[in-house]
Structures are given as C-alpha cells and as structure tokens.
C-alpha cells in the first residue's frame, strides 16, 4: 500500500512534447513544478513509452498519438494536456478507464485558423499561388483571367462550430454570402443560412471550407462524390483534419481543372518532424496552397494555449478541479485550507458510493465536504477530511473494488 503523502511537486514529472509554448513552462515553474522533460518535436513510439512511463502529466499537440497501448505503459499518468483544439490523437476512452483526465484549449487558436482561411480564399480567387511561382522564375503572368473579388461570392462552411462561426462573421464582413452545413441545428450568425443537405450546399457555393472534427462520421466525408457535387471552378479549403478529405480524389479534380484551386493545411499522413519529407499527390499542382498544419500556429495562439492548458493541469494537480475536461466527470472544487483532500476515481457501478461512505462511518472519520460527479463509465468523488484521518481513509478507499485511481492533496 502506498504511503499517504501528497506527492512533492518537485517529484511530479511533467513531459512536454512538440515544442509547446514557453508560457506553459513559465506557468508550471511559477507554481512549483520543476521536474519538466521538454522536447521540441514528437517522439517515436518507443521513446515516447520510455518517457511517459514515469510521467504524471503529459502535454502534447496534434502529432503525438496517445493510443491504448501507449497509455497502458503510463501507470503514473494523472492527466493529459492537448495544447491545441483537436483531441482525436488521444484514445479518450482508454484514458478515462485508466482514470486519466484529458484537457485541451477549445478556443485559443480559433481566430488564427479563421484568418488563414480568409487569406487563402482571396489568394486562390486571384490565382496568386501560380502567379507567385511564375514571377519567382522570372516570368510575368499579368492577366485577369480566372481572377475574382470575394465580394458577393458564396462561401459554404462545413462544421459551424467555433472556427466555422468565426469564419462566417469575418467572411460576411468582407461581403461574402455565407451558407453552412452541420449535423446539429446551429444558430446562424449575421445573415448566414443553414442548409440541410450537403449536396445542396456544395452545388450552390463558390468556396467550401471544412471545419469538422476528426470522428468516425467525418472520416473520408469528402470524397469523389462530394467533389463531384461542387460547382465547376469552385475552391476547396481544408484546415480541419487530413482524414476528412480523399486527397487522391482532390488531386484528380485539380488536375482536371474542375476546381479552380485548393488550400490544404492538414493531410492523411503528416511528417513527424520538420526534418522528414512531406509526400503528397498535391505537390506541384497549380493554384494549390499547401501549408504544414499551421492553421493554429501563431505566436498569439500558442502563447494563450500554453497558459490555458497548463493552468488546467495545475488546477487539477493542486486542487482536483476537472472542469472543461473533454473526457472526465467535471467537478469545480473550492480550496481546502487545513484539510486533506482525497480523490477517488472509480468505475461507475452500483454500490460504490455506499462502500465509500461506509469507510468514513465505520472508521469514525468526519467528512468536512464531499463532491461527486459521474459520467457513463466513471465516477469521481472528492472528500475533504481532517489531516490525521487521510492516511487511513486513503488505504480503505484503495481497497474498494472498482477503484481506478486515488490521490491525496495536502
């Protein structure tokens, strides 16, 4: 049985990958967390497993895959911070069933993505990628052919969430007419209009921009059929996830000149580091903007994300608060001056709470406060007690069948 001490902060290992912003390191250090292993890139799986084995917290971006088999090696892991919006790179259920809370930054890079998309719409509608290359090679392609203003053009947004709505407002303010398609009925902003059928939307608009998450329903949602529904001479932009678009079918539609152009920021397979080669059937095609998954990569966004996610991890570590977790029961907790705080994560099966409460009644331990939240699979109970009882209580709590993880905070 582990001795009942709140882990010394200098012993809590924080593993930070993919060059998360300095603001995150500053936040951890200012809160007393000094044991930080920092890597500029992602790690190959073997090395990741080595490093995650004794880590209590890990911070990643979109590249690191935290699969069931990787998490199975992470016996000490308390929480995961995705220093980005997407959480598809983490097996959320495998994390949950191991009592590992996952946090992200759901809004911090929204504006950066929307701004990039606006710029790309203008660049593509003026044929700038091709004209730029010609100039660099000493040529001169002065022509108005296939060059258009965006004013009055129709933009179709697929996925009207945080980024989709931000883009909607910006595009409308520049004179575009906005239509959107979403699986959920969404309140239109400004004069935007929701269209119930994807086919109808695609056949109507001049520019299509994808802003859906990576899920089973969006995998390959944009293939030859959907590209076929798009108007002749229209434009496709994808800054969502690489698995959403059939990239071979897109390359065919660009080569055949069915589409006027495309801007693609995310790919089915992305290089693991800046040193690896980027391979894609879209390389070398006219009027195609290819960017290395940098939709959210601005100094402003990265700094804000660093602060936001590290704060969530520190709060969960210091106090147990799990609000805004993407997979875990959410509990907002007050501070616990003078008390010891017991955290008990368990399988959500009948009878656990009565066993927990018996621990306290049978051992005459007074409960100062108690908080409980559950989701379908997991329960999270937090109990504040007088300091002298926490060791005994924790030992008893750990013996309850269905216990996944326990912690004590002083």
Ligand X SMILES: O=C(O)[C@H](O)COP(=O)(O)O
Ligand Y SMILES: NC(=O)c1ccc[n+]([C@@H]2O[C@H](COP(=O)([O-])OP(=O)(O)OC[C@H]3O[C@@H](n4cnc5c(N)ncnc54)[C@H](O)[C@@H]3O)[C@@H](O)[C@H]2O)c1
Binding site for ligand X (CB under 6 A): 61-63, 84-86, 109, 293, 296-297
Bridge partners (DSSP) listed for residue 372: 381
Told to check if 171 binds ligand Y by CB under 6 A, we report no
Q: Minimum CB separation from ligand X for residue 359, in Å?
A: 41
Q: List the interface residues with ligand Y, window 102-161 (CB under 6 A).
A: 109-110, 113, 158-161
Query: CB under 5 to 8 A by kind: which of ligand Y, ligand X, none does 163 bind?
Result: ligand Y
Told to check if 268 binds ligand Y by CB under 6 A, we report no
DSSP 8-state assignment for residue 144:
-
Out of 18, 91, 182, 226, point to the residue binding ligand Y (CB under 6 A): 182
Q: Minimum CB separation from ligand X for residue 190, in Å?
A: 25
In degrees, rounded to 5, the angle at the alpha carbon of residue 258 between the alpha carbons of residues 201 and 287 is: 105
Q: Minimum CB separation from ligand Y for residue 159, in Å?
A: 3
SS3 at position 310? helix
Whether the CB-CB separation of 53 and 71 falls below 8 Å is answered with no
Query: CB under 5 to 8 A by kind: which of ligand Y, ligand X, none does 61 bind?
Result: ligand X
Out of 41, 86, 268, 402, point to the residue binding ligand Y (CB under 6 A): 86
x/- letters, 234..263, toward ligand Y (CB under 6 A): -----xxx----------------------
**Residue 56 bears catalytic tag:** no
Choosing from 56, 98, 293, 346, which is the catalytic residue? 293
DSSP 8-state assignment for residue 365:
P
For residues 177-199, one letter each, b for 16 or more C-beta atoms within 10 angstroms of the residue's C-beta and e for the rest, the string is bbbbbbeeebeeeeebebbeebe
- Residue 84 or 205 having the CB closest to ligand X: 84
Tokens of 28: 């951890």
138/258 Cα distance (integer angstroms): 28
306/6 Cα distance (integer angstroms): 26
Q: Minimum CB separation from ligand Y for residue 146, in Å?
A: 26
* The 3-state secondary structure of 211-280, one letter per residue: CCCCCCCCCCCECHHHHHHCCCCEEEEECCCHHHECHHHHHHHHHCCCEEEEEECCCCCCCCCCCCCCCC
Residue 360 burial (CB count, 10 A): 19
Contacts of 7 (CB under 8 A, 6+ apart): 56
Told to check if 13 binds ligand Y by CB under 6 A, we report no
Q: Minimum CB separation from ligand Y for residue 289, in Å?
A: 13
Q: Minimum CB separation from ligand Y for residue 321, in Å?
A: 23
- Residue 101 or 210 having the CB closest to ligand Y: 210
Query: CB under 5 to 8 A by kind: which of ligand X, ligand Y, none does 81 bind?
Result: none
Out of 66, 85, 236, 314, point to the residue binding ligand Y (CB under 6 A): 85
Out of 156, 164, 242, 320, point to the residue binding ligand Y (CB under 6 A): 164
Q: How far is CA 21 from the centre of its chain?
A: 16
Q: List the interface residues with ligand Y, window 284-323 (CB under 6 A).
A: 293, 295-296
Contacts of 47 (CB under 8 A, 6+ apart): none
Q: Minimum CB separation from ligand X for residue 401, in Å?
A: 38
Phi, then psi, of 102 in degrees rounded to 5 = -120, 130
- The count of residues interacting with ligand Y (CB under 6 A) is 32
Query: CB under 5 to 8 A by kind: which of ligand Y, ligand X, none does 240 bind?
Result: ligand Y
Out of 143, 185, 191, 217, point to the residue binding ligand Y (CB under 6 A): 217
x/- letters, 339..358, toward ligand Y (CB under 6 A): --------------------
Tally the C-alpha atoms within 13 A of residue 129's C-alpha that lie toward its C-beta: 20
**Residue 241 bears catalytic tag:** yes
Of the candidates 344, 307, 345, the residue with the CA atom closest to the CA atom of residue 59: 307
**Residue 111 bears catalytic tag:** no
* Own/partner long-range contacts of 366-374 (Cβ < 8 Å, ≥24 apart): 368/336, 368/339, 369/334, 369/336, 369/339, 371/331, 371/333, 372/331, 373/322, 373/329, 373/330, 373/331, 374/329, 374/348
Q: Which are the catalytic amino acids?
A: 241, 270, 293
**Using CB under 6 A as the criterion, which residues of the chain lie in contact with ligand Y when the complex forms?**
85-86, 109-110, 113, 158-164, 181-184, 211-215, 217-218, 221, 239-241, 265-266, 293, 295-296
């Amino acid at each position: 049985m582990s001795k009942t001490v709140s882990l010394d902060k200098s012993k809590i290992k924080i593993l930070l990958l993919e060059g998360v912003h300095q603001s995150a390191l500053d936040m951890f250090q200012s809160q007393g967390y000094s044991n930080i292993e920092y890597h500029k890139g992602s790690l190959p799986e073997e090395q990741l497993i080595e490093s995650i084995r004794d880590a209590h917290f890990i911070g990643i971006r979109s590249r690191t895959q935290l699969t069931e088999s990787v998490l199975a090696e992470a016996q000490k892991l308390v929480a995961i911070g995705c220093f980005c919006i997407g959480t598809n790179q983490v097996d959320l259920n495998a994390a949950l069933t191991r009592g590992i809370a996952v946090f992200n930054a759901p809004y911090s890079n929204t504006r950066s993505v929307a701004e990039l998309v606006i710029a790309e719409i203008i660049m593509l509608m003026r044929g700038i990628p091709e004209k730029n290359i010609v100039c660099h090679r000493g040529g001169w392609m002065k022509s108005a052919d296939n060059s258009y203003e965006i004013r009055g053009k129709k933009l179709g947004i697929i996925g009207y969430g945080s980024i989709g709505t931000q883009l909607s407002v910006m595009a409308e303010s520049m004179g575009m007419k906005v239509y959107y398609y979403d699986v959920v009925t969404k309140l239109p902003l400004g004069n935007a209009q929701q269209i119930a059928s994807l086919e109808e939307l695609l056949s109507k608009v001049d520019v299509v921009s994808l802003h859906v998450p990576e899920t089973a329903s969006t995998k390959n949602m944009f293939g030859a059929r959907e590209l076929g529904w798009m108007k002749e001479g229209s434009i496709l932009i994808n800054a969502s996830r690489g698995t959403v678009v059939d990239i071979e079918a897109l390359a065919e539609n660009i080569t055949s000149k069915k589409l006027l152009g495309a801007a693609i920021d995310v790919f089915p397979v992305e290089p693991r580091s800046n040193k690896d080669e980027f391979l894609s059937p879209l390389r070398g095609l006219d009027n195609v903007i290819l960017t290395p998954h940098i939709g959210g990569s601005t100094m402003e966004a990265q700094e804000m994300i660093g602060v936001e996610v590290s704060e969530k991890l520190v709060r969960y570590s210091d106090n147990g608060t799990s609000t805004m977790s993407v997979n875990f029961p959410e509990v907002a907790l007050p501070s616990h001056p003078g008390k010891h705080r017991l955290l008990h994560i368990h399988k959500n099966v009948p009878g656990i709470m009565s066993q927990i409460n018996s621990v306290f009644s049978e051992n005459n331990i007074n409960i100062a406060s108690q908080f409980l939240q559950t989701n379908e699979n997991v329960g999270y109970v937090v109990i504040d007690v007088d300091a002298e009882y926490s060791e005994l209580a924790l030992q008893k709590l750990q013996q309850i069948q269905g216990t996944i993880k326990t912690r004590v905070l002083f």
